[in-house]
Amino acid sequence: MRVRQMKRLLREPLLLATIIGIFVALGLFVIYPVLRVLLYPGLRDFLSFPANDRYVTATLHTFVIVILSTASATTVGFLFAYTFTRTTVPWKGLFRSIAILPLFSPPFMIAFSYILMFGRNGLVTYTLLGARYNIIGWHGLWLSQTIAFFPIAALVMEGVLQSIAPSLEYAARNLGASGWRLFRTVVFPLARPGVAGAALLVAIYVLADFGNPVMIAGHYTVLPTEAWARISGWGDVTGAAVLSSVLLIPAFGLFLAQRYWVGRRQYTTITGKVVLLSLPPTPWYVRWPLFAFCALVSFLILSVFVGLLAGAFSRGWGFDYTPTLKHWQDVLANGRALIHSVVFAAVAATVSSLLAILSSYLVSRKAFPGRGLLDFVAILPAALPGVVFGIGYSLAFNAPPLDLYGTATIIILSMIFWNVPMGYQTGIGRLKQIAPSLGEAASNLGAGSLKTFWDVELPLLKSSLVSAFVVSFIRAVTTLSVIVFLVTNRNVVATFTILNLANDGYRGAAAALTTALLILTCIVLAVSRLLFGRNVELFRI
Amino acid sequence: MSDAPVHIAIRHLTKRFGAVTAVRDVSLQIARGSFTTLLGPSGCGKTTILRTLAGFYEADAGDIFFDERRMNDVPSHHRHAAMVFQDYALFPHMTVFENVAYGLKVGGVRGDALRQRVGRVLADLGLAGLGDRMPGMISGGQQQRVALARALVMEPEILLLDEPLSNLDAKLRVTVRAELRQIQRRVGITTVYVTHDQEEALAISDRIAVMHQGEVVQYGTPWEIYYTPQRVFVADFVGTANLLRGRIHEVEAQRFTLELAGRKIRVESPGKGLRPGEEAVLNIRPEAIEIGSIPPADPGPNVLEGVIRTHTFVGQWVRYWVDVSLGPEAAPHEFVVDVPDPRERGILEGRVFLRLDPRKIHHLQGA
């Protein structure tokens, strides 16, 4: 089998070269950095882990917050998804639009804004309510992560709930089930695999989260922030590598469970048939509690943006709310970081989406030795917390022959390969909908593999390519965890500057710079919408 | 036709998918310029053979030859065996013209030559004027022609058709089928056609290879397949079979008899190789059985008495299901009888007499 596949590949040298090139690239920029992290510390460093109180505390904290935030984010996400798909709650379209906003924001933004709103000098807590309340700590982290990650759960479960045909619900009603019984016996059991999948996905994000804890957790250290503290505070690379390696264990376990266990247990099938059965009206005692709940969560999301804007235009947070533009001078002063962010992310997203779509084509349509491996490695970065990725790059590419320390290249490379899974999964999903006979027809008419890809599959994958670009761009421009270990003065990007400004107490400037970053992201989104129409599917998770 | 040289030779082809053997040691020789159909139920391996010819699948064992050239290792895009797909596989992002022109462009044909060749094929297939349409904007029948045009414009030596008519409605299928045959005759292109529709296969082919569970069970002209099927499967799959399972009673030079639950069925054909006492299966087609409500004036051999269980009227003929009791112990044996042009006689009911024409009974081997 293998031998015949190789023989066939040898007849298409260009295809063979492409496949080898992708393998080399993924091996060098995904596998190698991870191995560097795992192999950097010695066995003794790992064995002394339980003796280190700070490590053990961080591990326990991580464990607790993953359970808390996953539970809350999944619950909130399910209620939202249920509201969108199966109820007649008023304004549900508006709630949905608000709910996906956190997906477009830098991961630390929510935590940062909640400090402004609910912190010691918070606009709501101190100025409006006069309370001496401080959100910093585990409860602030819990709230931030819930708001940050419930949209992921909501989108996943929305897809699952949507694919449960309303006719099933009608059938159950026809058989006499209604209300709570209907939900308990029909809707929820059908949605259960989706709920489990959403929970695992959220857990992966919470576990890897760096931006929220570094902003709001205070002394409540988790593994990613402790790893960062080892390096930034003590220059202790070994310690950081040990913590990252330990972090990798649950991350990888969750990833495997999400992909290979839950991923195969979907009861629902997508038929592409549009079911135009209207929903039966939701009873008032369900409708209004759901309305109130969605309104509250929407308020919490919108308060993030209110806090940010207020912060960006107020003279002194907590005591002097006179409008000012002085923070925007700081933005201009940090123009270089902003430009870096946008340029690096644009370059990375272009390369990343093309590479991802090409890989998805090869895996879906071509037979070659190592196809399963390529599939695995292309998805793997999704399992790697940004901290692991960042530390891995800083360890792997700091000496010849690949000494990239402090260069733009290292940042762009990390952004490219960290985001490959986004475009790859989009591409695989889309290719499942494209009949393989199209490619075969082109081959039958004389086109080789790469020509077939270019002429037939790529044009049909255009919308996926654009989605992949947009998602990769947003993730690249907003990432903090990956680049925090790679930036120097020369290649500094905006998220890092924001972190430093916020940590040093320049909250107005941090807010203004975040706002600027958000505006740039919106511009890119708007342009891609204008260029490629509404059918750009975002966040296929 | 049988004198034409072999164009496609399949030798001991085996193809497995995991634990399933889709094609098992198949050998076929396909004559140049012939129209050959691979016929069989779904899962019999017919499409697998076609796709192996096209180069989409690789043989696990055995060889494919086009003329004298071994094709096993030739990638699909170098085989010059144009294929029409079941779902047509028209490129949805290209116009009809671009679809048809695609293969020529890949082959380096440009400019006027390209326009002329595409234009000619489009005109030949009645598609002139549709060149600027997108595939989604034309009817199913037109899409089917575009798919054919895209294959024919390549002027291939071999044309592979994978159930190309299955997405058309019944009437159109018959029309397009006749057109397809005409074009094939005119161009003289060696054609391999895959279908599960036995009527279509009989109507269109020079040769039919009937397939069952990955093997070719009979390879012959439509006439041979219909009138002298060699296996029960073929008799049953192509047309309707009335199978008579019994024991050979007597064998003479030009005739033999079969004993069936105590009755003798006479067959007027050479019983070559048959020995008295051995088990055998006979087949008689529904239209070869005479039926009447009174006993025939000249009783002769092979007259059976039965009761009509039900009937169905389809216009040009009426079909009866008749239960014939062969003995006190045996369960009634069901015969299917077709009577053409039933207008004069009307529909029969109740007790009837069947006469099996001894010249139209066929002995099946390898039951």
Contacts of residue B53 in chain A, CB cutoff 8 Å?
Answer: none
Statement to judge: residues B104 and B197 lie in one domain: yes
Distance CA B46, CA B13 (A): 12
> Residue B44 pLDDT more than 70?
yes
Distance CA B304, CA B335 (A): 10
Residue B79's contacts (CB-CB under 8 Å, 6 or more residues apart) are: A444, B54, B55, B66, B71
- Residue A285: CB atoms within 10 A of its CB come to 9
The reported pLDDT for the residue numbered B294 is: 85
The reported pLDDT for the residue numbered A265 is: 47
Q: Among B176, B203, B237, where does a domain finish?
A: B237
> Residue B62 pLDDT more than 90?
yes
Torsion of CA A515, A521, A522, A525, to 10 degrees: -170
Query: Which pair of structure tokens corresponds to residue B97?
Result: 């013209």
Q: What is the pLDDT of residues A68-102, one digit of tens each?
A: 999 999 999 999 998 988 888 888 889 988 988 88
Q: What is the residue type of B92?
A: P
Q: Among residues of chain B, what percentage have pLDDT more than 70?
A: 98
Beta-carbon-side half-sphere exposure of residue B96 (alpha carbons within 13 Å):
27
- Residue A116: CB atoms within 10 A of its CB come to 28
Contact B91 A456 (CB under 8 A): yes
Direct distance between the N- and C-terminal alpha carbons of chain B, in angstroms, rounded to an integer: 30
The reported pLDDT for the residue numbered A534 is: 57
Cα of B139 to nearest chain A Cα, Å: 19
**Could you tell me the CATH number of the domain that includes residue B134?**
3.40.50.300
Statement to judge: residues B223 and B248 lie in one domain: no
Domain ranges, ordered by start, for chain A: 1-39+325-541, 40-323
The reported pLDDT for the residue numbered A268 is: 41
3-state DSSP assignment of residue B311: strand
Statement to judge: residues B218 and B96 lie in one domain: yes
* Residues shown for chain B: 367
Residue A287's contacts (CB-CB under 8 Å, 6 or more residues apart) are: A87, A88, A89, A90
Residue B188 lies in a domain: yes
Statement to judge: residues B198 and B257 lie in one domain: no
Domain pair A1-39+325-541 / A40-323, same fold: yes
Please indicate if any CB of chain A lies within 8 Å of the CB of B366: no
Homologous superfamily of A40-323: MetI-like (1.10.3720.10)
Distance CA B59, CA B70 (A): 12
The reported pLDDT for the residue numbered A203 is: 93
- Candidate from A4, A445, A459 with C-beta closest to B93: A459
Average pLDDT, chain B: 90
In SS3 terms, A27-81 reads as HHHHHHHHHHHHHCCCHHHHHCHHHCHHHHHHHHHHHHHHHHHHHHHHHHHHHHH
**Could you tell me the CATH number of the domain that includes residue B318?**
2.40.50.100
- Candidate from A444, A456, A459 with C-beta closest to B54: A444
Q: What is the residue type of A263?
A: G
- Residue B268: CB atoms within 10 A of its CB come to 15
Residue B1 lies in a domain: no
Q: Among B237, B270, B285, where does a domain finish?
A: B237
Contact A444 B83 (CB under 8 A): yes
Q: What is the pLDDT of residues B112-165, one digit of tens each?
A: 999 999 999 999 888 989 999 999 889 888 999 999 999 999 989 999 999 988
Distance CA A152, CA A475 (A): 14
Number of domains in chain B: 2
Please indicate if any CB of chain B lies within 8 Å of the CB of A218: no
The reported pLDDT for the residue numbered B166 is: 84
Contact B58 A12 (CB under 8 A): no
3-state DSSP assignment of residue B304: strand
CB burial of residue B251 (10 Å; 0-12, 13-18, 19+) = middle
Residue B343's contacts (CB-CB under 8 Å, 6 or more residues apart) are: none
Provide the CATH topology of domain A1-39+325-541.
MetI-like fold (1.10.3720)
The reported pLDDT for the residue numbered A278 is: 66
Structure letter (DSSP) for residue B77: G
Statement to judge: residues B246 and B219 lie in one domain: no
Torsion of CA B122, B128, B132, B138, to 10 degrees: -90
Q: What is the residue type of B12?
A: H
- Candidate from B55, B80, B89 with C-beta closest to A435: B89
Nearest partner of A298 among A467, A84, A513, A473, judged by Cα = A84
Nearest partner of A523 among A371, A349, A342, judged by Cα = A342
Statement to judge: residues B67 and B183 lie in one domain: yes
CA distances to A237, A415, B97, B239, B321 from B333, rounded to whole Å, are 88, 77, 59, 19, 10
Residue B271 lies in a domain: yes
Residue B360 lies in a domain: yes
B337 touches B320 (CB < 8 A): yes
Contact B89 A456 (CB under 8 A): no
Residue A529's contacts (CB-CB under 8 Å, 6 or more residues apart) are: A536
Inter-helix orientation angle A53-86/A223-234, to 10°? 140
The reported pLDDT for the residue numbered A263 is: 57
Please indicate if any CB of chain A lies within 8 Å of the CB of B272: no
Residue B215 lies in a domain: yes
The reported pLDDT for the residue numbered A330 is: 86
Contacts of residue B83 in chain A, CB cutoff 8 Å?
Answer: 440-441, 444
Please indicate if any CB of chain B lies within 8 Å of the CB of A534: no
The reported pLDDT for the residue numbered A269 is: 40
**What is the rounded average pLDDT of the residues B306-335?**
87
Domain residue limits at B287: 242-364
Contacts of residue A7 in chain B, CB cutoff 8 Å?
Answer: 73
Q: Which residues of chain A have pLDDT under 50?
A: 265-275, 539-541
Mutate one of A445, A450, A455, A465 to test the B interface: name it (highest B CB count within 10 A).
Answer: A445
Q: Where are the alpha helices (DSSP H) in chain B?
A: 46-54, 96-106, 111-124, 140-152, 170-187, 198-204, 222-227, 232-237
Residue B71 lies in a domain: yes
Contact A438 B56 (CB under 8 A): no
Contacts of residue A444 in chain B, CB cutoff 8 Å?
Answer: 54, 76-77, 79, 81-83, 151
Pairs across A and B, CB distance < 8 A: 73
The reported pLDDT for the residue numbered A267 is: 45
Per-residue confidence at B33, pLDDT binned at 50, 70, 90? Answer: very high
